[in-house]
Chains A and B, each alone.
Chain A
Amino acid sequence: DAGITQSPRYKITETGRQVTLMCHQTWSHSYMFWYRQDLGHGLRLIYYSAAADITDKGEVPDGYVVSRSKTENFPLTLESATRSQTSVYFCASSIGTSGKEQFFGPGTRLTVL
């Protein structure tokens, strides 16, 4: 199906484990973004990517790693999960950087015990 998908939709893990959240888009959009949503903070940008093999830090990058070997995929890895990384994670994509073109995935709810 066309669009932007995230997997898994729900994940429970333990402190110290490595976790990878997947994001896939079928539009061949240049830009992809990872946000986390926490109560009282809205959405905060973790990392973004302007194109394959080009990534850059957002507002809250510590503890996260991203890669973009293919245009359509933008995985987010928590190398050693901490409780403070319990959150809802949203992936988004856009043709350019104007917000009116940004499309969001359904989100992944991650709980770190």
Chain B
Amino acid sequence: GEDVEQSLFLSVREGDSSVINCTYTDSSSTYLYWYKQEPGAGLQLLTYIFSNMDMKQDQRLTVLLNKKDKHLSLRIADTQTGDSAIYFCAEINGNKLVFGAGTILRVKS
């Protein structure tokens, strides 16, 4: 079955690191994604990782993939107030994306 799960809420202080976690079920997913949704806007692709990779780093973002445990995480270093948003994990299933429920990240200044 298709099920992507995320914790619903994370609160961090400005300058700290944020870690958003996700578990997925489809071991055949070739790509896994992180999308960001700012208030009142649509989703924007933040980063993605190919399933044969363990880690991907892109400036302040680090994605870790543990295929054995089907666990994906997004680390945001030096979190800023502009990072406050909803973050969605997603896996590709056939020709469709399956999204988690989203994690609300609140950054306190």
Contact = CB atoms under 8 A, between A and B. Distances in A.
Contact of A102 (B41, B97, B101, B102): B97
B85 to A, nearest CB: 13
Contact of A97 (B40, B41, B88, B92): B92
Contact of A43 (B8, B43, B45, B92): B43
A44 B88 CA distance: 12
Contact of B96 (A41, A97, A105, A106): A97
A104 B48 CA distance: 16
Contacts, number: 56
B102 A45 contact: no
A38 B99 CA distance: 12
| A interface, size bucket | 20 to 34
B28 interface: no
Q: Which of A58, A92, A102, A106 has the most CB of B within 10 A?
A: A102
A41 B102 CA distance: 8
Given A98-B31, A99-B31, A42 B42 contact: no
Interface of A: 31, 33, 35, 40-45, 48, 50, 58, 90, 92, 97-100, 102, 104-107
Which 9 A-B pairs give the minimum distances between C-beta atoms? A104-B42, A97-B95, A42-B101, A42-B99, A43-B99, A104-B43, A99-B33, A99-B97, A100-B48
6 contacts: A48-B95, A90-B42, A92-B42, A98-B31, A99-B92, A107-B42
